[in-house]
Structure 1
Amino acid sequence: METFAVLLRGINVGGINIKMAELKECLASLPVKQVKTLLASGNVVLNSELSLAELKSRIESALAERFNYQAWVVILTAQRVTELVEACPYPADSAEQHSYVTLASDAEALSRLVEEAKQFEGEMTLLGPEALAWLAPVGGTLDAPMSKLTARAVYKSTTTTRNLRTLIKLKEACAQLRG
């Protein structure tokens, strides 16, 4: 049994509203155990014996059927969440800037994103084939060039972005499930 972090793209924004209790109920109908939602933005930890690829496919199908939208998720093992949090060189909290990690279910898409992002000034660090850390000024996240780049349609099906603080919470929740 493996512990996973499941990150949904684009819920509770843009007209796709899913209550966390309904999300938990939907996912609990799959071959998973100990489903726990975090925050109200599509962050879930759970245990499953399915492979990562099979779990992704099953979750996206279940969400599309239950909530009638094109569902995209990025799934990481608990171990990988821990590694990414520990690899991030930026602080979780700062008065001047926020630390973000863009996660990808497709390494090729993240590679294209990194190439496009090289045109911007500002710090970013590739954490692995599925993760890119970057900084945005406090109060200016939505206007940050990286934020606008990751919002482009070409990246919708393969990436999602989380604040580093959220990844730390996911790491802690995964550790609790693994017990």
Structure 2
Amino acid sequence: MATAKKQAATATRHVALLRGVNVNGITLKSADLKALFVELGFGAVRTVLASGNVLFDTDESDAAALRTRIEQALRKRFGYDAWIVLLTQKTVAEIAAAYPFERIDEERHPYIVFGSDKAMLDEIMEKAGTVDANTDTERLERGKGVLYWQCPRGESLDTPVAKLLGKARYKSSTTTRNLRTVEKLLAD
């Protein structure tokens, strides 16, 4: 009992953002996803929506090893090329608070592109250089470990930035979430 209390006191709330879940034939049930994280020994596991968002507590401090362990377990259990972006909930809160564009806009959707590889985020920004931050089409701005993106409603797959983000090159290191989804990850 004392060990469980000590672990709970030292545990950090994490957010695992899975890439490509419940699209393109990769279907994971929230209950199965939660069960895997519980089996991995994490506490207070909760899935949010059906788009591959898992909140959990752990006292493990090596983020790279933790990410690798989770990705390997996902691959083994569900049989797909699993990639995640792993952050603390505190970091996600800081990222959401720094969102630079209007949070509620009748014409555009607010997104955050999370990345596990700084060089890939820099490359996306460079390649998206044709996107002017003041245009009516879409906006893109670099943040700490993320890209902040706004695009017209109904066009999140069709804009120049959307097509760039969809390239296979970025599949293993980026995942995009609507700002409202991100805020739901903070409500826990």
* Structure 2 length-normalised TM: 0.88
1:140, distance to aligned residue in structure 2 (A): 1.3
1:23 aligns with 2:39: no
Q: Which residue of 2 aligns with 1:105?
A: 116
- Paired-residue identity, %: 41
| Distance (whole Å) between structure 1 residues aligned to residue 79 and residue 22 of structure 2 | 14
1:169, distance to aligned residue in structure 2 (A): 0.9
Q: Which residue of 2 aligns with 1:73?
A: 84
* Structure 1 length-normalised TM: 0.92
- After superposition, give the CA deviation of every residue in 1:6-51 in whole Å (9 maximum; x if it has no partner): 1000010000000000000011111311110000000111101122
Q: Which residue of 2 aligns with 1:123?
A: 139
| Distance (whole Å) between structure 2 residues aligned to residue 34 and residue 136 of structure 1 | 34
Deviates more, 1:2-11 or 1:83-92: 83-92
- After superposition, give the CA deviation of every residue in 1:94-151 in whole Å (9 maximum; x if it has no partner): 21000111010111111111111112233212111x1000111011111121111111
User: Of the two structures, which has the highest relative contact order with CA contacts closer than 8 Å and spacing of 6 or more?
Assistant: 1
- After superposition, give the CA deviation of every residue in 1:35-77 in whole Å (9 maximum; x if it has no partner): 1000000011110112221221111011000000110000111
1:159 aligns with 2:165: no
Deviates more, 1:139-148 or 1:15-24: 139-148
Q: How big is the alpha-carbon RMSD for the aligned residues of Structure 1 and Structure 2? A: 1.0
| Distance (whole Å) between structure 1 residues aligned to residue 104 and residue 77 of structure 2 | 36
Aligned residues of 1:93 and 1:165 also touching (Cα < 8 A): no
Q: Which residue of 2 aligns with 1:6?
A: 16
Q: Which residue of 1 aligns with 2:67?
A: 56
Q: Which residue of 2 aligns with 1:93?
A: 104
| Distance (whole Å) between structure 1 residues aligned to residue 183 and residue 100 of structure 2 | 13
Unaligned runs of 5+ in 2: 1-10, 133-137
1:93, distance to aligned residue in structure 2 (A): 2.6
Larger Rg: 2
| Distance (whole Å) between structure 2 residues aligned to residue 91 and residue 31 of structure 1 | 39
The runs of at least 4 aligned residues of structure 1 exceeding 6 Å deviation read none
| Distance (whole Å) between structure 2 residues aligned to residue 48 and residue 144 of structure 1 | 38
Q: Which residue of 2 aligns with 1:176?
A: none
Q: Which residue of 2 aligns with 1:139?
A: 154
| Distance (whole Å) between structure 2 residues aligned to residue 146 and residue 131 of structure 1 | 14
Letter of the 1:61 partner, please give it: Q
Letter of the 1:133 partner, please give it: Y
